[in-house]
Amino acid sequence: MIFNKGAIFCNLFLADELNRTSSRTQSALLEAMEEHQVTIDGKSFKLEKPFSVIATQNPTGASGTQLLPDSQVDRFMIRISMGYPDKDAECKMILNRSTSNPIDNVKCVVTKEELAGMQSKAKQVYVHNEMAEYIVALIRRTRTHGLVSRGASPRAALSLTDMAKALAFADDRDYIVPRDVENVFISTLNHRIILSSEATARNLNTEDILNDILKTTKQPRI
């Protein structure tokens, strides 16, 4: 048997319209995201480093879509909603593509070795014990909030910490502070909690609840 490496053997993998894929495809991607490997006929093949996944999904309820498994959703560190571009951006998009494809002019801004080095340095960012307690307090609050039927997992606490460390590193600091956690709290948690029926009836969304948790959780004085 000759093994030919597929698209997953890369540094940055784009999974477009993930919630349209089959359960088998999602399961394979889950292994790649968690174990950084793929398995074929009982043999595992390691993926390249660094390895990251960016995925898009269509609105739930659109033709052919299905909800992603909770275990897979929890593997994504953050979720953001792009929405529609504003008028000027949409006009610029048309004009930029009138004669050529802007993607053809994309240039490398960092090598994979440089990215791996930055990831290694971000991991070394210091987390004070009081900051760890603050992160845990925020996560545990999602589990006891009256308008949340299912709170965030321990994996969410790890992701929130890693995001705060990355933000501190980008800000040229070797330690995290409360604002680092606050700035990434919603994007890191909004896909990990499920609201109660009461919250839905009151037209509240996850961002409303997470903002309330931020406001009512005491910050450490570092």
**Whether the predicted pLDDT of 219 surpasses 90:** yes
For the chain, the structural domain boundaries read: 12-76, 123-216
Report the mean per-residue pLDDT for the chain: 91
Q: What is the pLDDT of residue 61?
A: 67
Phi-psi region of 155 (alpha: psi -120 to 50; beta: other; left: phi over 0): alpha
H-only helix segments in the chain: 23-35, 70-73, 87-96, 112-123, 129-144, 154-170, 178-189, 197-201, 206-216
CATH number of 12-76: 3.40.50.300
Q: Tens of pLDDT along 91-141?
A: 999 998 888 888 888 898 999 999 999 999 999 999 999 999 999 999 999
Q: Tens of pLDDT along 154-201?
A: 999 999 999 999 999 999 999 999 999 999 999 999 999 999 999 999
The pTM of the full predicted model, rounded to 2 decimals, is 0.88
The CATH architecture annotation of domain 123-216 reads Orthogonal Bundle (1.10)
3: helix, strand or coil: coil
Q: What is the pLDDT of residue 158?
A: 97
**Whether the predicted pLDDT of 62 surpasses 80:** no
